[in-house]
Structure 1
């Protein structure tokens, strides 16, 4: 097969079968790289690239699924897959750039100039976005490459000209400027804090909403939290207050997008479906609402700044993500069915409470944090040590010290601050591997000192014998406007559901009110007392 011949490449495209993804990806890469090396006539080169677009998009998406579900370590086997995907995107971007440069003298493809610029911008952006998808730091130079595409398109005077773009499901068209803005919006959406599904929606919505944003020349010094960017720097948008007043600086305007997001949210509240609004045919309405709320400020208004400033910190912290291990570290003992439970007791409970018909003497739980840590090691509940990079009132930025248990976005974890004696509850805010292979994680602390409680759902059947499950109660923290709450296993929350709790051997019934937060392994909810149980 001669991958330097456009006619043979077109014939091969008709024979490729996407079922064999690896074979298809290899052939497509060979076609793109072979033509880039041979540099055939620009019009023939462009014809092959355009004919291959749908197949390339499908195969690349299938490859990306192999590493998009969890943060991808640089030394993992699937890192080769990431590099393969990025290499093809970059080869496509270079191909369209070469076609534009080689055609500049003859002008044969003069009318295709806007398309060549949009395609180059699109593929340069996709190469960068793969690192966000893999929750990896963007390599040096990739933002600079994207800015270079913008400069070339801006100088042409046709950066706003829309061209046919079937990959844009709503508009079916896109300009080079809109392709550029879409990448900027995705970076603003805190991609390292998104699950695979959420990030895919963010990417789709960025393409959907890019036409409502603009890039200008005038910075507004009266709005230091508004966004801008320096085309000479290797990074994305920054608050205007952080940028120097130089010729390469541009302003970012998302005010029209803010109004659009408000309108979308109003339509969802009035009963419209996400599909009818162009937000995705398979997007649940509750997820659409939640994502719109989280994107409203960064996309439509300005940088929010930090509610609580970070400060440098030293030391290490212990972190655990197993549900029962969290309870052990919080309470200093393994969760057991309360004595008030009238159902069949566990084997462990039988052994620990009775010996030959008499009550056995129970061992007191470890008193100090050090003793609890040592006991946890013996029980298999030991936490993993992380280095504290910095911290604020609301959480920590951590760096891994060694291999750790796999964490998920928004997962509930237990964490002991470097200077603390008690474990707190936290939620994983974001995860990212740095270029040197070190994982960083953001942890948001759930306010209040947690306490382990036993919980079960109240049923209408007499003599409820359902076993209790471990849960946590958090007190009100008025300074942070945080109400008292329960932290329950994932899936337990239903509005107005009544639970029976055992707290300090006292029975209580509570009604669940509102969801405050949730993740793959927990629901945090507000509640109210129903009535004392006698």
Structure 2
């Protein structure tokens, strides 16, 4: 059982019963979310210190739930899609989110302890109390995930401890309805705990919020497939079990990375594997998601794709990600952003060309005087200008996607959908890609999932002239040219900074060797946080 501080006669919450709590909530200003969150956290902290009967405490906590959920949901939105690692102010907001969930957890845990001590007023509410504790422990885990951080050790340890406390009790199998969790669908503590573990393992699959909610809903509907046992065996062709340490500080692990201990539990996955495969087969045969109790959020083809993705993640033999289990692998180098990517490929920093005509005159003069064009940027090494590629470890590096772990802690931040290039040390085999997913690991390292763009990138300068009928001024910017892949019927495209694209815009592409070609932009193929990939035609 998790320990709590003793109650304190000096505690002074703004409410001591349901009536005063409801009145206080009615006066709480929600226009300033940070202030409302801080006020709730402080008042619930005071409530947790106050000596109350179990029944009154439970009633107050249940009354607080709706407002807490609303404030936390809106505060969490501020952290979505941020560059990582978070800035100090953003990190403070993450800790504030975690602390308010923790305060709610402590409140229900106080009720659990009072029920265990013989408080008859809540003796019949023990399954509900345990469910609420696990729910708020799960909310704390989810807060870190929403911000792109792996949950800290404390969050895992208390989640495991809450389940361990009821592992041998019938309470773990008793269904409880929660109006703030999947429309009050009845679920047991064991199902909630195992579903939380499985959803965390799937966090790096790039699933949408709708897909994650569907996956969790499916698990809640399949409680007979979710169980934890102290001993487990598997045949060669069976889905291999996963393991979790109830005294550990992480989630599920493959057997290859699980350390033997008396607190190790196994999740047999043969039942879940069979359930997923049967659902996918029936969908392919023409049954609808609703007929199979898969909900209405996803179309049949999307359900099939999600089921197959989840089966590969949960039920097929695979190694744990480097985000969960760091280990030595092959290194690659990575540069982030268009300017650094240009500098690395061109082997010289980007130099804006404000007036192409003047640049040509200067080049002609230099040839007449020195017999060659002088490269002013060549006077500086890339390293002196900060163009130093970072070294990352490779978990996988295929034609379409790479999964990488940064080898060292760094203050350089990376954002979702940011442009990067990846290449092997001492190699010019560059690949351009977009950061599809990013996470800060427990050790403070960055883990990336990179989606590659088609074609080997070439460094070019995009030079656009001012035109009277357009809003564009004469300017230049670093860009990447992605040549056509004729065998795949993929036309050439151009990676430009955000804000540079307009259909039909005319510009020149200048290579590091100063050769030029004139183009007209076509359509936007895709856009990221700092780039836009566009089609073009030669003029």
Same fold, judged at TM 0.5 (above): yes
Task: Verify: 1:312 aligned to 2:328, yes or no.
Answer: yes
Contact 2:283/2:289 (8 A) holds in 1: no
1:240 correspondence with 2:244: no
Give the match for residue 3 of structure 2. Answer: none
Match of 2:156 in 1: 143
Aligned residue runs from structure 1 range 108-257, under 5 A: 108-170=121-183, 172-191=185-204, 194=206, 200-201=209-210, 203-211=212-220, 212=222, 213-217=225-229, 218-222=232-236, 223=238, 225-243=240-258, 244=260, 248-253=264-269, 254-255=272-273
Task: Pick closer, same or farther for the CA change 1:172–1:24 going to 2, 3 Å.
Answer: farther
Which shifted more, 249-258 or 129-138? 249-258
1:64 deviation in Å?
A: 1.9
Closer, same or farther in 2 for the Cα pair 1:301/1:435, shift >3 Å?
closer
Match of 1:350 among 357, 369, 380: 357
Aligned equivalent of 1:11: 23
- Equivalent of 1:258 in 273, 276, 295: 276
The equivalent residue for 2:5 is none
1:22 aligns with 2:34: yes
Deviations 1:250-283 (A, max 9, x none): 21433266248737986999999xxx94438xxx
| Cα 1:125/1:429, change in 2 over 3 Å | same
The C-alpha deviation readout for 1:341-360, integer Å capped at 9, x for no partner, is xxxxx853323335799998
* Gap runs ≥5 in structure 2: 1-11, 463-473, 499-506
TM-fit CA distance, 1:77: 2.0
- Is 2:414 the counterpart of 1:407? yes
TM-superposed deviation, 1:401: 6.0
User: Is the Cα–Cα contact under 8 Å of residues 332 and 394 in structure 2 kept in the other structure?
Assistant: no
Partner of 1:496: none
Relative to the length of structure 2, the TM-score reads: 0.70
**Which position in structure 2 is the counterpart of 1:463?**
none
Aligned length: 484
Cα gap change, 1:109 to 1:75, in 2 (>3 Å): same
Give the equivalent residue in structure 1 for 2:481. Answer: 472
Does 2:44 match 1:37? no
2:504 equivalent in structure 1: none
- SS state at 2:432 partner: strand
Query: Partner residue of 1:383?
Result: 387
The SS at the match of 2:135 is helix
Residue by residue over 1:293-342, the C-alpha shift from the partner in whole angstroms, topping out at 9 and shown as x without a partner, is 784335553344489999836988451312x5534543457999xxxxxx
What CA distance in whole angstroms lies between the structure 2 residues aligned with 1:24 and 1:93?
Answer: 18
CA distance in structure 1 between the aligned counterparts of 2:79 and 2:44, rounded to whole angstroms: 23
Mapped partners of 1:3, 1:24: distance in 2: 14
Matches within 5 A, 1:420-459: 420-421=427-428, 423-428=430-435, 430-434=437-441, 437-441=444-448, 443=450, 449-451=456-458
Equivalent position SS for 1:53 = helix
TM-score if structure 1 supplies the norm length? 0.70
Aligned to 2:73: 61
Distance 2:136 2:277 in 1: 29
Q: Distance in 2 between matches of 1:92 and 1:4?
A: 15
* Distance in 1 (alpha carbons) for counterparts of 2:253 and 2:341: 38
Q: Is 1:279 the counterpart of 2:293 in the alignment? A: no
Q: Distance in 1 between matches of 2:426 and 2:362?
A: 41
Distance 1:26 1:356, change over 3 A: closer
Contact 1:129–1:183 under 8 Å retained in 2: no
Q: Once the two structures are superposed, what CA deviation does each residue of 1:156-194 show, in whole Å capped at 9, x if it has no partner? A: 213233322222345544332232133213311234x75
SS at match of 1:262: helix
Shift of 1:238: 1.5
Question: What is residue 316 of structure 2 aligned with on the other side?
Answer: 302
Q: CA RMSD in A?
A: 5.4
Name the CA distance, whole Å, in 1 between partners of 2:56 and 2:252.
37
CA distance in 1, matches of 2:33, 2:436: 34
Tell me, what secondary structure is at the counterpart of 2:56?
helix
